[in-house]
Amino acid sequence: AQTVTQSQPEMSVQEAETVTLSCTYDTSESDYYLFWYKQPPSRQMILVIRQEAYKQQNATENRFSVNFQKAAKSFSLKISDSQLGDAAMYFCAYRLYFGNEKLTFGTGTRLTIIP
Amino acid sequence: DGGITQSPKYLFRKEGQNVTLSCEQNLNHDAMYWYRQDPGQGLRLIYYSQIVNDFQKGDIAEGYSVSREKKESFPLTVTSAQKNPTAFYLCASSMPGLGYEQYFGPGTRLTVT
């Protein structure tokens, strides 16, 4: 079974600084997707970024980028120029490339932005 | 506006009563999902449906039931058999196939006393 681990329950960063959230996963599959979702205080889950395992290039979306290390099964999220609106719970998630689209989530990291 | 609606936002029930949570989407998505979220835990899959009139159990299906009679609707019933029903419930939908992410509704907070 696939598992996703987020070892940092809480993180904080000064506004405008950079922060990196960690995620590791365990799978015997070679084809899969990895996601970072954001859950602000409203509790609405919002997709931040997606990475296909077959792509060596790290995904980037504006101030958000990932460091995908397939051999190490590591998938960290870097947030640059942190803004107050980035304060949220961040969840790492995994799903198989083929087959059903079940998402397996980590336990989340609560990110606080310090003004 | 396309999206997923869940109602109500807050729901209170007495122990021993069944309760049904609503999930409707107008995104024309084929697949729909129900997740449960507890403090300190990630989301856990309860049930999912990839097509009308068909659904599969997720990781924590015991004490829950679903139906999928229409493409737009995927209601979740929390039965009295569910040992610890108080939680935050999230519904999601997606197009089936490669690369399609799941879109989430705003969630329903269920409290059973």
Q: Are B94 and A42 an interchain contact pair (Cβ–Cβ within 8 Å)?
A: no
Residues of A with CB under 8 A from a CB of B: 4, 6, 9, 33, 35, 42-47, 50, 52, 91, 93, 97-98, 100-103, 105-108
Task: List A115's β-bridge partners, or say none.
Answer: none
The shortest CB-CB distance from A107 to any of B42, B99, B101 is to: B42
Per-residue pLDDT of chain A (115 residues; tens, 9 = 90+): 789 999 999 999 999 999 999 999 999 988 899 999 999 999 999 999 999 999 889 999 999 999 999 999 999 999 999 999 999 999 999 998 776 678 899 999 999 999 9
**Averaged pLDDT, B37-66:** 93
Q: How far apart are CA B98 and CA A31, in angstroms?
A: 11
Q: Between residues B40 and A74, which one has the greater pLDDT?
A: A74
- The secondary structure of residue A59, as a DSSP letter, is P
B61 lies within 8 A of chain A by CB: no
Using an 8 Å Cβ cutoff, are A36 and A64 in contact? Answer: yes
* From A75-84, B10-19, B53-62, B88-97, the region with the lowest mean pLDDT: B88-97
B109 to chain A: nearest residue by CA? A43
Contact residues, chain B, for A103 at CB < 8 Å: 33, 43, 45, 102
Using an 8 Å Cβ cutoff, are B51 and B39 in contact? Answer: no
- Which pLDDT score is estimated for B42? 85
Q: How far apart are CA A52 and CA A63, in angstroms?
A: 19
Closest by Cα among B79, B89, B74 to B11? B89
Contact residues, chain B, for A6 at CB < 8 Å: 42
Q: Residue B82: is its pLDDT beyond 80? A: yes
Using an 8 Å Cβ cutoff, are B24 and B4 in contact? Answer: yes
Q: Residue B99: is its pLDDT beyond 70? A: no
What letters, b where the CB count within 10 A reaches 16 and e where it falls short, cover A64-95?
A: bbbebeeeebebbbbbeebeeebbbbbbbbbb
- Which pLDDT score is estimated for B101? 83
Instruction: Find which of A103, A107, A109 to mutate to test the B interface (most B CBs within 10 Å of its CB).
Output: A103
The shortest CB-CB distance from B101 to any of A42, A47, A98 is to: A47
Confidence of residue B95 (pLDDT cuts 50, 70, 90): confident
Q: Residue B34: is its pLDDT beyond 90? A: yes
- Which pLDDT score is estimated for A59? 94
What's chain A's length in residues?
A: 115
- The secondary structure of residue A28, as a DSSP letter, is S
Q: Between residues B100 and A16, which one has the greater pLDDT?
A: A16
- Which pLDDT score is estimated for A104? 92
Contact residues, chain A, for B92 at CB < 8 Å: 45
Q: Residue B94: is its pLDDT beyond 70? A: yes
Confidence of residue B100 (pLDDT cuts 50, 70, 90): confident
Strand locations in A9-115 (E): 10-14, 19-21, 24-26, 32-39, 46-52, 60-61, 64-69, 74-79, 88-96, 104-105, 109-114
How many CA atoms lie less than 13 Å away from A45 in the CB half-sphere? 28
Q: Which two tokens stand for residue A23?
A: 């995620």
Q: Residue B36: is its pLDDT beyond 90? A: yes
Q: Are A4 and B42 an interchain contact pair (Cβ–Cβ within 8 Å)?
A: yes
B90 lies within 8 A of chain A by CB: yes
